[in-house]
Structure 1
Amino acid sequence: MWDKINKYYNPLIDILAFLVLILTVIYSVFHYRELPNEVPHHFNLAGEPDAWGKRESSLVY
């Protein structure tokens, strides 16, 4: 079974996705203090923010 999976699927994709995830978390941690106290969390179809929240809540997402 794994031979068929490896034939069509390259595990390098998982490694790259995990690396991007880790780099995003590291970047967010180092630049957390630069965020304003209130940040937009949701945007309407026109691209305008219609929901705001504290920057602490951005850690949940």
Structure 2
Amino acid sequence: MKKRHQQKLVILSIGLILFLNIPIIFIFNSDASVLGIPVLYAYVFFVWLVSVIITYTVINRYA
């Protein structure tokens, strides 16, 4: 894997640290729900899903 692709994955990791930080998570901690799922769980699942998709495309495209 080239160095610039490794850098993309490092940037993704830093982004995940920021998006899954406790103060950001507390923003979504409410009693509301999205499609019957609490907003907090929907946010964490969405961030996780986006990170998996980005990781897959970076590794698959540039491997």
Question: Which structure's relative contact order is higher, taking Cα pairs within 8 Å and 6+ residues apart?
Answer: 2
Is the shorter-chain TM-score for this pair beyond 0.5, marking a shared fold? no
Look at both structures and tell me which one has the larger radius of gyration over its CA atoms.
1
Point out the structure with the larger helix share.
2
Point out the structure with the larger strand share.
1
TM-score, normalising length: structure 1: 0.41
TM-score, normalising length: structure 2: 0.40
